[in-house]
A and B are shown apart, each in its own frame.
Chain A
């Protein structure tokens, strides 16, 4: 474990806690894409299949359980909670996430480190996580006014993978010089997808104005 990875995990955890807090406190999920949240559940389920089989550390296991639990409860709130689900506008959250899931799965079957169930699912989860934010970003572009919590949520979500990029640089040079193209390139793409959001987010923060993404 290194400081970059810990900072990344804490940023990731903070983003999810922030979203869960927004939904529970405001009893609203306005501006949040259910599609993206469902993709994250798929990412965590396919990535943590070895939770019950492989033990790395207490931290690793507890964080996996927290990520699984929080992401599933967010989807539960948005789909089934009697008050929250009324605030979900499915007419604007129209991104067909099957167009993300299928290509990522096929790619994981073709490009992976080993053709085993665990490894292919792990690879699939990395490819899918790289593009999982797209429905949320599309929804933000359609939203006239983005509330601060949602903006901060997306920013933290993007920042966590940027920390992971630093973690991979650190691990390559300091630890085992092991080349890991799949996480590296997926993480690079994931962070690049946030680039324009980061630009508008920082601009709105500097100019103290409302966050607005160009349509």
Chain B
């Protein structure tokens, strides 16, 4: 759960 928290936006 934790790892798939993407911060792929700026």
Interface residues, chain A, with chain B CB atoms under 8 Å away: 5, 9, 12, 47, 50, 54, 56, 60, 63-64, 67, 113-114, 116, 118-119, 122, 164, 167, 183
Within 8 Å CB of A116, what residues of B? 2
Binding site for A on B (CB under 8 A): 1-2, 5-10
B2 contacts A60, C-beta separation under 8 Å: no
A119 touches B2 (CB 8 A): yes
Minimum CB–CB distance from B6 to chain A (whole Å) comes to 8
A-B residue pairs in contact (CB < 8 Å), sample of 12: A5-B9, A47-B7, A56-B8, A60-B8, A60-B10, A63-B10, A67-B10, A113-B5, A114-B1, A116-B2, A122-B7, A164-B9
Residues of A within 8 A of B7 (CB): 47, 50, 54, 118, 122
CB pair A64–B10 under 8 Å, yes or no, is yes
Neighbouring A residues of B10 by C-beta, 8 Å: 9, 12, 60, 63-64, 67
- By a CB distance below 8 angstroms, the chain A residues around B8 are 56, 60
- A12 to B10 alpha-carbon distance, docked (Å): 10
Q: A56-B8, A122-B7 are in contact. List 20 more A-B contacts (CB 8 A).
A: A5-B9, A9-B10, A47-B7, A50-B7, A54-B7, A56-B6, A60-B8, A60-B10, A63-B10, A64-B10, A67-B10, A113-B5, A114-B1, A114-B5, A116-B2, A118-B7, A119-B2, A164-B9, A167-B9, A183-B9
A148 to chain B, nearest CB (A): 27
5 shortest interchain CB distances as A-B pairs: A114-B2, A56-B8, A63-B10, A122-B7, A113-B5
